Protein backbone atom coordinates (compact mmCIF):
# COMPACT_ATOMS: atom_id res chain seq x y z
CA UNK A 1 0.00 0.00 0.00
CA UNK A 2 1.30 3.48 -0.92
CA UNK A 3 2.59 5.45 2.05
CA UNK A 4 0.88 8.73 2.86
CA UNK A 5 2.71 12.06 3.04
CA UNK A 6 2.95 13.87 6.39
CA UNK A 7 -0.41 15.21 7.59
CA UNK A 8 -1.45 18.72 8.45
CA UNK A 9 -3.85 19.24 11.36
CA UNK A 10 -6.06 22.32 11.54
CA UNK A 11 -8.40 23.62 14.21
CA UNK A 12 -11.01 26.10 12.99
CA UNK A 13 -12.76 28.00 15.78
CA UNK A 14 -13.00 24.91 17.92
CA UNK A 15 -14.84 24.86 21.20
CA UNK A 16 -15.21 21.93 23.57
CA UNK A 17 -17.52 22.05 26.53
CA UNK A 18 -17.98 19.25 28.99
CA UNK A 19 -21.49 18.79 30.33
CA UNK A 20 -22.10 17.91 33.95
CA UNK A 21 -21.07 14.34 34.35
CA UNK A 22 -20.06 11.63 36.74
CA UNK A 23 -16.61 10.28 37.34
CA UNK A 24 -15.18 7.59 39.55
CA UNK A 25 -13.47 8.99 42.64
CA UNK A 26 -10.36 7.50 44.22
CA UNK A 27 -12.48 5.61 46.75
CA UNK A 28 -14.43 3.97 43.94
CA UNK A 29 -17.54 6.08 44.54
CA UNK A 30 -19.03 8.00 41.63
CA UNK A 31 -19.08 11.77 42.07
CA UNK A 32 -20.71 14.58 40.16
CA UNK A 33 -18.41 16.78 38.06
CA UNK A 34 -19.70 20.19 37.07
CA UNK A 35 -19.66 21.26 33.42
CA UNK A 36 -16.83 23.36 32.03
CA UNK A 37 -15.42 24.93 28.89
CA UNK A 38 -12.22 23.06 28.00
CA UNK A 39 -11.37 24.79 24.72
CA UNK A 40 -12.57 28.12 23.39
CA UNK A 41 -12.12 29.66 19.94
CA UNK A 42 -9.15 27.47 19.07
CA UNK A 43 -7.81 28.33 15.64
CA UNK A 44 -4.36 27.07 14.77
CA UNK A 45 -2.49 24.60 12.61
CA UNK A 46 0.13 21.92 13.08
CA UNK A 47 2.12 22.17 9.82
CA UNK A 48 2.92 19.06 7.80
CA UNK A 49 6.36 17.51 8.15
CA UNK A 50 7.41 19.50 11.20
CA UNK A 51 7.73 18.95 14.93
CA UNK A 52 5.36 21.18 16.87
CA UNK A 53 5.47 21.65 20.61
CA UNK A 54 2.11 22.08 22.30
CA UNK A 55 2.81 23.85 25.55
CA UNK A 56 0.63 24.94 28.40
CA UNK A 57 0.08 24.55 32.08
CA UNK A 58 -1.93 21.84 33.79
CA UNK A 59 -5.54 22.06 32.76
CA UNK A 60 -4.82 24.32 29.79
CA UNK A 61 -6.66 21.95 27.46
CA UNK A 62 -3.73 20.26 25.72
CA UNK A 63 -4.97 16.69 26.07
CA UNK A 64 -8.52 17.67 25.12
CA UNK A 65 -7.19 19.37 22.00
CA UNK A 66 -5.09 16.37 21.03
CA UNK A 67 -7.91 13.91 21.70
CA UNK A 68 -9.89 15.66 18.97
CA UNK A 69 -7.19 14.73 16.46
CA UNK A 70 -7.55 11.05 17.35
CA UNK A 71 -11.35 11.33 17.13
CA UNK A 72 -11.64 10.28 20.78
CA UNK A 73 -14.35 12.92 20.97
CA UNK A 74 -15.98 15.57 18.77
CA UNK A 75 -15.72 19.31 19.24
CA UNK A 76 -18.83 21.03 20.56
CA UNK A 77 -18.39 23.70 17.88
CA UNK A 78 -15.97 24.32 15.01
CA UNK A 79 -14.02 21.91 12.85
CA UNK A 80 -10.99 19.71 13.32
CA UNK A 81 -9.42 18.70 10.02
CA UNK A 82 -6.48 16.41 9.31
CA UNK A 83 -4.93 14.95 6.19
CA UNK A 84 -2.36 15.52 3.49
CA UNK A 85 -1.99 19.16 2.43
CA UNK A 86 -4.88 20.10 0.16
CA UNK A 87 -7.09 17.23 1.27
CA UNK A 88 -7.96 17.96 4.89
CA UNK A 89 -10.99 16.15 6.32
CA UNK A 90 -12.83 15.47 9.54
CA UNK A 91 -11.19 12.36 11.06
CA UNK A 92 -14.38 11.27 12.86
CA UNK A 93 -15.11 7.66 11.86
CA UNK A 94 -12.91 7.88 8.78
CA UNK A 95 -10.74 4.77 8.95
CA UNK A 96 -8.29 6.14 6.36
CA UNK A 97 -7.51 9.04 8.68
CA UNK A 98 -7.83 7.40 12.09
CA UNK A 99 -5.35 4.73 11.01
CA UNK A 100 -2.94 7.51 9.98
CA UNK A 101 -3.25 9.65 13.12
CA UNK A 102 -1.81 8.35 16.37
CA UNK A 103 -2.19 10.09 19.71
CA UNK A 104 -0.08 8.42 22.38
CA UNK A 105 -0.65 9.33 25.99
CA UNK A 106 1.35 8.45 29.06
CA UNK A 107 1.02 4.77 29.81
CA UNK A 108 -0.15 4.15 26.27
CA UNK A 109 -3.52 2.90 25.22
CA UNK A 110 -2.77 -0.75 25.52
CA UNK A 111 -4.60 -3.98 26.25
CA UNK A 112 -4.02 -3.86 30.00
CA UNK A 113 -4.48 -7.49 30.91
CA UNK A 114 -2.68 -8.92 27.94
CA UNK A 115 0.98 -9.36 27.20
CA UNK A 116 2.74 -6.48 25.48
CA UNK A 117 3.01 -8.56 22.33
CA UNK A 118 -0.81 -8.71 22.12
CA UNK A 119 -0.94 -4.92 21.97
CA UNK A 120 1.77 -4.94 19.31
CA UNK A 121 -0.20 -7.45 17.31
CA UNK A 122 -3.33 -5.27 17.61
CA UNK A 123 -1.50 -2.16 16.45
CA UNK A 124 0.19 -4.10 13.64
CA UNK A 125 -3.22 -5.18 12.35
CA UNK A 126 -4.69 -1.68 12.39
CA UNK A 127 -1.69 0.45 11.42
CA UNK A 128 -0.62 0.03 7.78
CA UNK A 129 2.74 1.73 8.44
CA UNK A 130 3.61 -0.29 11.56
CA UNK A 131 7.24 -1.50 11.58
CA UNK A 132 7.48 -4.63 13.78
CA UNK A 133 11.27 -4.87 13.66
CA UNK A 134 11.71 -1.26 14.70
CA UNK A 135 9.20 -1.83 17.50
CA UNK A 136 11.30 -4.71 18.84
CA UNK A 137 14.47 -2.65 18.55
CA UNK A 138 12.88 0.09 20.62
CA UNK A 139 11.64 -2.36 23.24
CA UNK A 140 15.21 -3.64 23.54
CA UNK A 141 16.48 -0.08 23.79
CA UNK A 142 14.01 0.80 26.53
CA UNK A 143 14.29 -2.65 28.14
CA UNK A 144 10.55 -3.34 28.07
CA UNK A 145 9.71 -7.06 28.31
CA UNK A 146 7.54 -8.24 25.42
CA UNK A 147 6.06 -11.17 27.31
CA UNK A 148 4.85 -9.34 30.39
CA UNK A 149 1.37 -8.00 30.90
CA UNK A 150 1.12 -4.25 30.39
CA UNK A 151 -0.68 -3.89 33.72
CA UNK A 152 2.32 -5.15 35.70
CA UNK A 153 4.87 -2.83 34.09
CA UNK A 154 6.27 0.07 36.10
CA UNK A 155 5.20 3.60 35.20
CA UNK A 156 8.50 4.21 33.44
CA UNK A 157 8.23 1.05 31.37
CA UNK A 158 4.66 1.88 30.45
CA UNK A 159 5.79 5.28 29.24
CA UNK A 160 8.53 3.61 27.24
CA UNK A 161 5.98 1.21 25.79
CA UNK A 162 3.79 4.14 24.78
CA UNK A 163 6.76 5.88 23.16
CA UNK A 164 7.53 2.67 21.28
CA UNK A 165 3.98 2.50 19.96
CA UNK A 166 4.20 6.11 18.82
CA UNK A 167 7.47 5.69 17.00
CA UNK A 168 6.94 2.25 15.46
CA UNK A 169 3.48 3.11 14.09
CA UNK A 170 5.11 5.71 11.81
CA UNK A 171 1.77 7.46 11.49
CA UNK A 172 1.75 10.50 9.16
CA UNK A 173 0.50 12.51 12.16
CA UNK A 174 2.02 11.31 15.42
CA UNK A 175 1.16 13.00 18.69
CA UNK A 176 3.03 12.41 21.95
CA UNK A 177 0.91 13.72 24.78
CA UNK A 178 3.30 13.94 27.73
CA UNK A 179 4.19 10.37 27.03
CA UNK A 180 7.66 10.64 28.58
CA UNK A 181 6.65 11.84 32.05
CA UNK A 182 7.21 8.47 33.66
CA UNK A 183 10.62 7.87 32.09
CA UNK A 184 13.89 8.45 33.88
CA UNK A 185 16.32 10.96 32.35
CA UNK A 186 18.50 8.49 30.36
CA UNK A 187 15.40 6.85 28.86
CA UNK A 188 13.91 10.25 27.98
CA UNK A 189 17.04 11.30 26.14
CA UNK A 190 17.24 7.93 24.40
CA UNK A 191 13.65 8.55 23.29
CA UNK A 192 14.43 12.06 22.00
CA UNK A 193 17.40 10.71 20.04
CA UNK A 194 15.33 7.86 18.60
CA UNK A 195 12.58 10.30 17.68
CA UNK A 196 14.91 12.64 15.82
CA UNK A 197 16.68 9.80 14.02
CA UNK A 198 13.44 8.19 12.88
CA UNK A 199 11.89 11.55 11.99
CA UNK A 200 14.86 12.27 9.72
CA UNK A 201 14.56 8.87 8.06
CA UNK A 202 10.75 8.78 7.86
CA UNK A 203 9.48 12.37 7.72
CA UNK A 204 6.11 12.88 9.33
CA UNK A 205 4.22 15.44 11.35
CA UNK A 206 4.92 15.24 15.06
CA UNK A 207 3.18 17.07 17.86
CA UNK A 208 4.62 16.89 21.36
CA UNK A 209 2.93 18.23 24.43
CA UNK A 210 5.17 18.48 27.43
CA UNK A 211 5.79 20.02 30.80
CA UNK A 212 9.51 19.38 30.37
CA UNK A 213 9.88 22.37 28.06
CA UNK A 214 13.54 23.05 28.70
CA UNK A 215 14.38 19.48 27.82
CA UNK A 216 12.22 19.15 24.72
CA UNK A 217 12.37 22.62 23.18
CA UNK A 218 15.43 21.74 21.08
CA UNK A 219 13.16 19.39 19.13
CA UNK A 220 10.52 21.95 18.26
CA UNK A 221 10.23 23.71 14.92
CA UNK A 222 6.90 25.28 15.85
CA UNK A 223 5.22 26.08 19.10
CA UNK A 224 1.56 26.39 20.05
CA UNK A 225 0.98 27.79 23.52
CA UNK A 226 -2.35 27.16 25.24
CA UNK A 227 -3.64 28.80 28.35
CA UNK A 228 -7.03 28.26 29.90
CA UNK A 229 -8.39 26.67 26.77
CA UNK A 230 -7.23 29.43 24.42
CA UNK A 231 -4.33 29.68 22.01
CA UNK A 232 -1.94 32.31 23.31
CA UNK A 233 0.48 32.02 20.41
CA UNK A 234 1.34 29.75 17.51
CA UNK A 235 4.64 30.54 15.82
CA UNK A 236 7.93 29.09 14.58
CA UNK A 237 10.10 28.15 17.57
CA UNK A 238 13.11 30.15 16.35
CA UNK A 239 11.05 33.36 16.34
CA UNK A 240 9.93 32.69 19.88
CA UNK A 241 13.39 31.91 21.18
CA UNK A 242 14.43 35.52 20.46
CA UNK A 243 11.09 36.95 21.48
CA UNK A 244 11.83 37.44 25.15
CA UNK A 245 14.95 39.22 26.40
CA UNK A 246 16.30 39.36 29.91
CA UNK A 247 18.26 42.31 31.29
CA UNK A 248 20.32 41.77 34.43
CA UNK A 249 22.34 44.48 36.16
CA UNK A 250 22.18 47.59 38.35
CA UNK A 251 18.57 48.53 39.01
CA UNK A 252 18.79 52.06 37.61
CA UNK A 253 20.42 50.94 34.35
CA UNK A 254 18.00 48.07 33.91
CA UNK A 255 14.99 50.29 34.58
CA UNK A 256 16.31 52.82 32.06
CA UNK A 257 16.68 50.16 29.36
CA UNK A 258 13.32 48.58 30.15
CA UNK A 259 11.42 51.85 30.06
CA UNK A 260 8.69 51.80 27.40
CA UNK A 261 8.84 48.05 26.90
CA UNK A 262 6.45 45.27 27.88
CA UNK A 263 7.92 43.98 31.12
CA UNK A 264 6.90 40.41 31.62
CA UNK A 265 8.73 39.73 34.84
CA UNK A 266 10.87 41.56 37.35
CA UNK A 267 13.12 40.27 40.12
CA UNK A 268 15.25 42.17 42.64
CA UNK A 269 18.27 40.86 44.51
CA UNK A 270 19.86 43.65 46.50
CA UNK A 271 21.11 46.31 44.08
CA UNK A 272 20.72 43.96 41.12
CA UNK A 273 17.54 43.72 39.10
CA UNK A 274 16.57 41.25 36.44
CA UNK A 275 13.70 42.08 34.11
CA UNK A 276 12.25 40.08 31.30
CA UNK A 277 10.97 42.17 28.41
CA UNK A 278 9.04 41.37 25.30
CA UNK A 279 11.02 41.73 22.06
CA UNK A 280 14.73 42.01 21.15
CA UNK A 281 16.93 45.04 21.91
CA UNK A 282 18.21 47.29 19.13
CA UNK A 283 21.96 47.48 18.48
CA UNK A 284 22.08 50.90 20.17
CA UNK A 285 20.31 49.55 23.25
CA UNK A 286 22.66 46.57 23.32
CA UNK A 287 25.69 48.87 23.28
CA UNK A 288 24.15 51.04 25.99
CA UNK A 289 23.44 47.95 28.07
CA UNK A 290 27.03 46.74 27.74
CA UNK A 291 28.33 50.17 28.75
CA UNK A 292 26.05 50.23 31.83
CA UNK A 293 27.08 46.75 32.94
CA UNK A 294 23.76 45.16 32.04
CA UNK A 295 23.86 41.58 30.80
CA UNK A 296 21.52 40.68 27.96
CA UNK A 297 20.14 37.18 27.67
CA UNK A 298 17.39 35.31 25.89
CA UNK A 299 14.75 33.39 27.76
CA UNK A 300 14.11 29.89 26.52
CA UNK A 301 10.64 28.66 25.63
CA UNK A 302 10.11 27.61 29.22
CA UNK A 303 10.64 31.17 30.40
CA UNK A 304 8.21 32.39 27.79
CA UNK A 305 5.66 29.80 28.86
CA UNK A 306 6.03 30.81 32.50
CA UNK A 307 5.75 34.52 31.82
CA UNK A 308 2.88 34.36 29.38
CA UNK A 309 0.76 31.99 31.39
CA UNK A 310 1.63 33.48 34.78
CA UNK A 311 0.77 36.96 33.59
CA UNK A 312 -2.75 35.79 32.90
CA UNK A 313 -3.17 34.07 36.26
CA UNK A 314 -1.04 35.09 39.20
CA UNK A 315 0.47 38.37 37.94
CA UNK A 316 4.22 38.88 37.73
CA UNK A 317 5.15 39.28 41.33
CA UNK A 318 6.61 42.51 42.56
CA UNK A 319 6.31 45.66 40.68
CA UNK A 320 5.70 44.40 37.16
CA UNK A 321 4.97 47.59 35.29
CA UNK A 322 3.00 46.54 32.29
CA UNK A 323 2.84 42.93 33.26
CA UNK A 324 -0.47 41.21 33.42
CA UNK A 325 -1.27 41.93 29.82
CA UNK A 326 -1.58 38.66 27.94
CA UNK A 327 0.10 38.74 24.56
CA UNK A 328 -2.62 36.71 22.93
CA UNK A 329 -4.08 39.65 21.14
CA UNK A 330 -0.74 40.62 19.63
CA UNK A 331 0.16 37.31 18.13
CA UNK A 332 -0.92 35.95 14.85
CA UNK A 333 -2.59 32.57 15.20
CA UNK A 334 -1.96 30.33 12.33
Partner 1 sequence: MSTLAQTLDARRAAADRSAVRTVAKHIGGVLVGVGAWYWPIIVLAAAIIALIQQRFDALDGSTVQYVVGSARWFAFSLGVIVPLAMIRPHLAAGGTRRALFRGVVRGAGLAGASFGLVIACLYAAEQGVWRLLDLDWHRSLGLDESTGAVGFAVNAVGEGLVAFTYFLLGAAVSAGFVRFGPWLGLVVCLSLGIPAVVADIALYAGPATALAQQVLGLSGPLPALAGLLVVVVAAAATCLALHLLLRSIPVKRTVF
Q: Which of 112, 184, 298, 317 is in the footprint of partner 1 by CB under 8 A?
A: 112
* Separation CA 181–CA 175 (nearest Å): 14
Handedness of CA 330, 285, 239, 295 (dihedral sign): negative
Pick the stretch among 17-25, 202-210, 225-233, 290-298 that binds partner 1 (CB under 8 A): 17-25
Question: In the chain, what are the helix, strand and coil shares in percent, each to the nearest 5?
Answer: 35, 30, 35
Considering the complex, what minimum distance in angstroms separates the CB of residue 55 from partner 1?
19
Q: Closest CB to partner 1 among 70 and 231?
A: 70
Sole window of 106-114, 189-197, 266-274, 310-318 interacting with partner 1 (rule: CB under 8 A): 106-114
Which CB atom, from 63 or from 245, has the smaller least distance to partner 1?
Answer: 63
From the list 265, 259, 266, 302, the residue with the least C-alpha distance to 281 is 259
Could you tell me which of 150, 146, 176 has the C-alpha nearest to residue 62? 176
Strand runs (DSSP E) across 85-221, as ranges? 101-105, 173-177, 205-209
CA-based diameter of the chain, in Å? 67
Q: 291 to 320, contacts with partner 1 by CB under 8 A?
A: none
Residue 172 is a binding residue for partner 1 (CB under 8 A): no
C-alpha–C-alpha distance, residues 30 and 43, integer Å: 35
> Exactly one of 49, 59, 84, 236 binds partner 1 (CB under 8 A); which one?
84
Stated as kind and residue range, the H or E segment containing 166 is helix 155-168
Can you tell me which of 57, 62, 158, 228 binds partner 1, judged by CB under 8 A?
158
Site string for partner 1, 28-57 (x = CB under 8 A): --x---------------------------
**E strand map for 167-221:** 173-177, 205-209
Nearer to partner 1 (CB atom), residue 37 or residue 118: 118
Q: Does 63 bind partner 1 (CB under 8 A)?
A: yes
Q: Does 201 bind partner 1 (CB under 8 A)?
A: no
Residues 85-104 that bind partner 1 (CB under 8 A): 87, 93-104
Q: Is residue 230 close enough to count as binding partner 1 by CB under 8 A?
A: no
Contact range with partner 1 by CB under 8 A, out of 6-14, 79-87, 211-219, 234-242: 79-87
With 0-12 / 13-18 / 19 or more C-beta atoms within 10 angstroms meaning exposed / middle / buried, residue 127 is middle
Question: Which CB, 21 or 242, lies closer to partner 1?
Answer: 21
Give the residue, chosen from 8, 48, 51, 106, that forms a contact with partner 1 under the rule CB under 8 A: 106
CA 229 to chain centre: 14
Residue 125 binds partner 1 (CB under 8 A): yes
Q: Which is nearer to partner 1, 63 or 246 (CB)?
A: 63
Q: What's the closest the beta carbon of residue 4 comes to partner 1, in angstroms?
A: 6
**96 or 252, CB closer to partner 1?**
96
Contact between 51 and 6 (Cβ < 8 Å)? no
Question: Would you say 249 and 295 are in contact if contact means Cβ atoms under 8 Å apart?
Answer: yes
CB 85 within 8 A of CB 8: yes
The candidate with the shortest Cα–Cα distance to 41, out of 70, 63, 67, 11, is 11
What is the binding site for partner 1 (CB under 8 A)? 1-2, 4-5, 21-23, 30, 63, 67, 70-74, 83-84, 87, 93-113, 118-119, 122-123, 125-128, 155, 158, 169, 171
Amino acid sequence: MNPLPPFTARFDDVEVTFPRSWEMGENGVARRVSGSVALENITCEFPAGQITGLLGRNGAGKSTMLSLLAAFRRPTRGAVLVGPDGDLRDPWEDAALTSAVLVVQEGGDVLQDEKVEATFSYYADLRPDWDPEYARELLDLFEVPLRKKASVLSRGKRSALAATLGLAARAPLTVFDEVYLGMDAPTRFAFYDALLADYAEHPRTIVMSSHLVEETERLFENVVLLDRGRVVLAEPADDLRTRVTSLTGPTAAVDHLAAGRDVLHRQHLGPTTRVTVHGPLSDDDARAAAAAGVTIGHEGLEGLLIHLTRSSREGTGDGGTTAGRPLAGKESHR
